[in-house]
Structure 1
Amino acid sequence: MNCNEDNQQESDRFFKEFNDQLQKETNETGIFLPAMIKNRTTLKPTFKDAIPQIIASCIIHCIVIQGGINMAYSTVLNNGLQKAEGKLRISKDQESWIASLVTISLPIGSLLTGPLMDKFGRKSICLLTCIPASISWILILLSNSISTIYAGRVIAGASAGLSTVGLVYVSEITHPQLRAMLLCLNSVFVSLGILITCCLAVWLRWDTMAAVFLVLNCCVFLALFIVPESPYWLMCFSNGMLNENSTGRAEKSLKWLNRREIIYEQEYARIKEISSTRVMNAESSKTLLQSINLFYKELMLPTVYKPMCILFFLLLLQQLSGAYVVIFYAISVFKEIGGTFGAGLDAYGALVMLGVIRFIMSILTAYFSKRYGRRVLCISSGLGMTFSMFFSAMYMYLTSSCDENGTVKQTMANQKWLLLVIVLFYVCTSSLGFVVIPWTLIGELLPISVRGTGSGLMVSLAYIMMFGVIKSYPYAIEGMGGQGIFFFFSFTSLLGTSFVYFFLPETLGRTFTEIEQYFTTNRKTRSC
């Protein structure tokens, strides 16, 4: 009897260990949620604990308001210059350059921001972004030629590229349980920039708006002095690493961000572990050649090249889905689908609706990302984009006809409001995840050793792709027509949804160490 009891106990212990191991391996996939997140040993912060991190994140995210303004301002500037008289009147080619220059120059800033933020600190580069942004608005405000406007747009793009540092800063100062939501605030503030521009466009001229944005940028610069430096940078990069001064500053910064002692101790231990590895790597990279060699070796690690490949394809499909075309050429798009939509609503009224919808949805995305994670939002967003663009294309196809001269006419001209609703639904669903999540993942998927340089590289590639899409749109719409473009956007959105389903891991509630472990674990083992 005792022998049987011993055997039973041994069997029970075996199956318990087996189930524990199976649960651990299942959790490592990072694909299904949120069951494994609720049982983490990391102490969950209260709202009171989160307040300092929320304040710091909101202030830092103010630098990306400029990015949203750059996007929406292009359609306002182009429309204003088209109505202008004299030497500032623009052609279609100049219109496409004004819209796209801000995207092709952005990689200049994003490539520089990696080494700059590692050398001088995250907060310092956040302050730096405001200087070229102010110069760009001064140039546009005082412009008397197209060349000056081009110069202003190029400098604005470079400044927006530097704002990549905001994603890295927020990912490093926030608790793992808060990181998803606070990183999504990046999109909230981009949407705020779009909303401000859309609303001001109803009342102000393009040059008066430039003066308003210059004042706003100066206010953001002053607000940045409130926040502390990233404790990760202070301990992993600052002044030869782990000297007494940098450690003391890191502790002070951590205490500012984590007021409760037990959470402060957890975060300090986590950073100390990462900084130790960073110090050992730094000791082997004394010269520039050795640093380049070290970066190349790190690039060959699965913890680096796997997330970079995922981010590249995700950002490529994001750009080809047309989400940014609707913003950069909003007035043009609204005119393409009708221009007037009844009840006194014109293209400018639709522009304000676009700004409001994108802003509200970006706030909801920040909230939902904390509850449902990245994958659910991206898949839901991609499906919504797919169906809305498909229905838009089908509507235009079914309600248009050609007369004997080959002129296209709308057979349901008094129902254009329906097409506007579908396009705005596309904006709504794109803002739910597919436009937002890929940018926040840059600050999460890349390991600390290459996060500065890697994030700059990924943002650069994204905006080079955006430049190609934005620059070619006026010619694509002329060659393919509105319905052809919308069919293409629908197909690309479906591809993006499929990619997310099969390849994107879930990062909700996971520490940086756990995310790195996901990419080093064998896929067959993770599927057990």
Structure 2
Amino acid sequence: MKTSRRWLYLKLLFTTCSLATHQFIIGATLIFSGILFAKLREPSSTLTLTPEQASWIASVPNLVCPIGSVATGILADKIGRRKALHLTFIPLIISWGILGFFDTYKSIMIARTLLGYSEGTGAYVLLYITETSPTVYRPLFLALVLVVTGMGMLTISVLAIFYTWQTLSQMFCLMSLACAVLLFAVPEPPIWLRSKGLETEADRVEKWFGLDPLQKMPGCGVSTIASNATAARPPPLPPSSKWSVYTSRSVWKPALITLAFFVCQQGTGFYILLFYSVDVIRDCRVPVDGMTFNACLSVTRIVASVIYVMQYETKRRTLVVISSVGMCVGLSSAVGYLYAFDDVRDPPYQFLLTAAFLAYVFFAVLAMLPLPWSITGELFPMAVKGTMNGVIHSCGYELLFLATKIYPMMVMTLGIKLVWSIFAGFCLMSALFGAFVLPETKGKSLDEILTEFEPKKKAKIFP
């Protein structure tokens, strides 16, 4: 029994890490605009961007993300989680190739637009993991994806110190191709296969995982894969009720909650720091150059990701409160420093400003960065999970586009100190949201989670 469990965990680790290579590439795309802007400001650069052009380069991937997110969500329900995710490597490879061999504003915009299609599909990595991992260890495997994403950010940050942005793009084009090939070794989740009536193939995948459908898993009562498969095989919905599932409380209520969660996330300003890292440290007078600051952010994110992995047994609501309060303290310290030494040409203790921003990033990774993206894979009924993940994540990316597009205008209109004071206020609001609104999913099965959204007297759970 111990050997079979160990084999199962090794197979789950393999599938998780293989799928997470997608997020390794996406992690690099998230901070590429900051690296690009820093490179283009170097004296040897032959390309100059206006502030308007820079804002479009930074934000256009987020504008296109909903297309990729919704399309992949529909495909994930139709052809499978892994197959749908596999298709997203095509625009990734093409876009990195364009960046690697062309250096005009138009070519950069085309490449960033293609990148945006795939950037919005990371939800299906998380969806796959939620459908294959034991409930008790699900947060652990989800957290590993965050570590791999941070590794992608750190890798491109370190390489950027030695190579041009075009050489970096060529490297990640090859990496994307290698990751796409690796994904062929990953099977579809048994729960999805059984929901499509593919019983024989589902049995084959369970045997590949080294799991007997009747075998029990520690901490779950029954096998997660087997129990998920059982939950995926109720009688099919009649045609008239296929659309009515979207109006059920088990769909619209978690949809509103997750949308509010995304509003809180974007309001904290974390992604602003990623996309405009060079501009932020310049306006806030952080005494570190852009490349070094990006590397420090990436290292901080990886350290925080490892700690996040270690906290897989901690309740989600607790993590959100700790994360939000920590972000608020970090940002408030940075803003307070800016107000205190506003008129000082060479302010003292400048390392405190750097430390405040790094603390802000550290606490963001503990919950407010990963949870809005991952929790959508845990809250929706199986019949609409892929589609609703696409819809909600699309809304999240539109909010991200709005935040990144208007940030330069906000700084020009309100000033850097007031803008980041607003972000600090959103951090506090996020702590209240986590404490009183966010549902707890730690250690709960899909049936248990969905039951909480139904009226107490007549709970009806859609598959």
Scaled to the shorter chain, the TM-score interval is: over 0.9
- Measured on the aligned residues, the alpha-carbon RMSD in Å equals 2.2
Task: Name the amino acid aligned to 2:451.
Answer: Q
Matched residue of 1:380: which SS? Answer: helix
- Summarize the Cα distance change of 1:411–1:350 in structure 2 as closer, same or farther, 3 Å threshold: same
- Give the Cα separation in 2 of the matches to 1:273 and 1:520: 21
Q: Which residue of 2 aligns with 1:359?
A: 302
Matched residue of 1:90: which SS? Answer: coil
Match for residue 395 of structure 1 among 319, 329, 337? 337
Superposed, 1:315-394 pairs within 5 Å as 315-341=262-288, 346-368=289-311, 370-394=312-336
CA-CA distance at 1:162 after TM superposition:
3.0
Task: Name the amino acid aligned to 1:249.
Answer: E
Q: Which residue of 1 aligns with 2:207?
A: 255
Which string of whole-angstrom CA distances, capped at 9 and with x for unpartnered residues, describes residues 150-199 of structure 1?
01000001012233321211111111111111122232222222111211
Q: Residues 70 and 102 of structure 1 are in contact (CA less than 8 Å); yes or no, is this contact kept in structure 2?
A: no
Task: Name the amino acid aligned to 1:74.
Answer: S
Q: Which residue of 2 aligns with 1:233?
A: 192
- Give the Cα separation in 1 of the matches to 2:71 and 2:368: 26
Task: Name the amino acid aligned to 1:366.
Answer: V
Aligned sequence identity (%): 27
The answer to whether 1:462 aligns with 2:386 is no
The answer to whether 1:276 aligns with 2:219 is no
Task: Name the amino acid aligned to 2:393.
Answer: V
- Summarize the Cα distance change of 1:46–1:399 in structure 2 as closer, same or farther, 3 Å threshold: farther
Superposed, 1:142-221 pairs within 5 Å as 142-221=101-180
Q: Residues 317 and 492 of structure 1 are in contact (CA less than 8 Å); yes or no, is this contact kept in structure 2?
A: yes
Task: Name the amino acid aligned to 1:448.
Answer: M
- Give the Cα separation in 2 of the matches to 1:275 and 1:365: 30
CA-CA distance at 1:84 after TM superposition:
6.5
Q: Residues 87 and 145 of structure 1 are in contact (CA less than 8 Å); yes or no, is this contact kept in structure 2?
A: no
Structure with more of its chain in helix, by fraction = 1
Which string of whole-angstrom CA distances, capped at 9 and with x for unpartnered residues, describes residues 445-502 of structure 1?
1121111000000110001000011111122222222211221111001111101110
Match for residue 422 of structure 1 among 356, 363, 366? 356
Match for residue 49 of structure 2 among 74, 90, 106? 90
- Summarize the Cα distance change of 1:321–1:508 in structure 2 as closer, same or farther, 3 Å threshold: same
Q: Which residue of 2 aligns with 1:474?
A: 408
Q: Which residue of 2 aligns with 1:12?
A: none
- Give the Cα separation in 1 of the matches to 2:394 and 2:185: 29
- Give the Cα separation in 1 of the matches to 2:381 and 2:28: 30
CA-CA distance at 1:90 after TM superposition:
0.7
Q: Residues 39 and 45 of structure 2 are in contact (CA less than 8 Å); yes or no, is this contact kept in structure 1?
A: no
Q: Residues 121 and 229 of structure 1 are in contact (CA less than 8 Å); yes or no, is this contact kept in structure 2?
A: yes
Which string of whole-angstrom CA distances, capped at 9 and with x for unpartnered residues, describes residues 305-326 of structure 1?
1111110000111011101111
Task: Name the amino acid aligned to 1:262.
Answer: Q
Task: Name the amino acid aligned to 1:274.
Answer: A
Point out where structure 2 has 5 or more consecutive residues left out of the alignment: none
- Summarize the Cα distance change of 1:268–1:133 in structure 2 as closer, same or farther, 3 Å threshold: closer
Matched residue of 1:505: which SS? Answer: coil
Q: Residues 113 and 164 of structure 1 are in contact (CA less than 8 Å); yes or no, is this contact kept in structure 2?
A: no
CA-CA distance at 1:355 after TM superposition:
0.4
- Give the Cα separation in 2 of the matches to 1:437 and 1:363: 15
- Give the Cα separation in 1 of the matches to 2:172 and 2:223: 41
Q: Which residue of 2 aligns with 1:437?
A: 371
Which string of whole-angstrom CA distances, capped at 9 and with x for unpartnered residues, describes residues 6-55 of structure 1?
xxxxxxxxxxxxxxxxxxxxxxxxxxxxxxxxxxxxx9x96554221122
- Summarize the Cα distance change of 1:202–1:310 in structure 2 as closer, same or farther, 3 Å threshold: same
Task: Name the amino acid aligned to 1:443.
Answer: G
- Give the Cα separation in 2 of the matches to 1:223 and 1:372: 32
Q: Residues 139 and 313 of structure 2 are in contact (CA less than 8 Å); yes or no, is this contact kept in structure 1?
A: no
- Give the Cα separation in 1 of the matches to 2:452 and 2:310: 25
- Give the Cα separation in 2 of the matches to 1:177 and 1:347: 41
The answer to whether 1:266 aligns with 2:235 is no
- Give the Cα separation in 2 of the matches to 1:157 and 1:100: 9
Decide which moves more: 204-213 or 77-86: 77-86
Matched residue of 1:519: which SS? Answer: coil
CA-CA distance at 1:89 after TM superposition:
1.2
- Give the Cα separation in 2 of the matches to 1:480 and 1:474: 10
